Amino acid sequence: MRSKPSKKLLIVAGAVTGTAFLAKRHASSCGGFDFERMVARMPENAPPKWMFRNINTIRENTERILQLLEAEHTPGGVEPSLDPDRAVE
């Protein structure tokens, strides 16, 4: 009786793994999947586009914060290179 649920779980896990493997092979044979190009084609009010922009903004902010922290800890306090679009005058 106990072997039935574990057999089902094993079959489902194998099917999911096989599907993921086939999808990966198909994507690599098609030259890959360009997520940025797909997002660029979306309308401006599409939620995935908002999410992609927010993730990129968070990544940029994190890089700037890390540069500022590194500049604080280095002797001589070398100024970090800031993005010219975001430079405060």
> pLDDT, tens digit, for every residue of 58-87?
999 999 999 999 988 877 655 555 555 555
Which residues, including other chains, have CB under 8 Å from residue 67's CB and lie 6 or more apart? 80, 81, 82
Report the alpha-carbon distance of residue 50 to residue 57 in Å, rounded.
10
pLDDT, tens digit, for every residue of 15-65?
888 888 777 777 666 666 677 787 788 888 888 888 888 888 999 999 999
Amino acid 6 reads: S
Q: Residue 89: pLDDT band by 50, 70, 90 thresholds?
A: very low
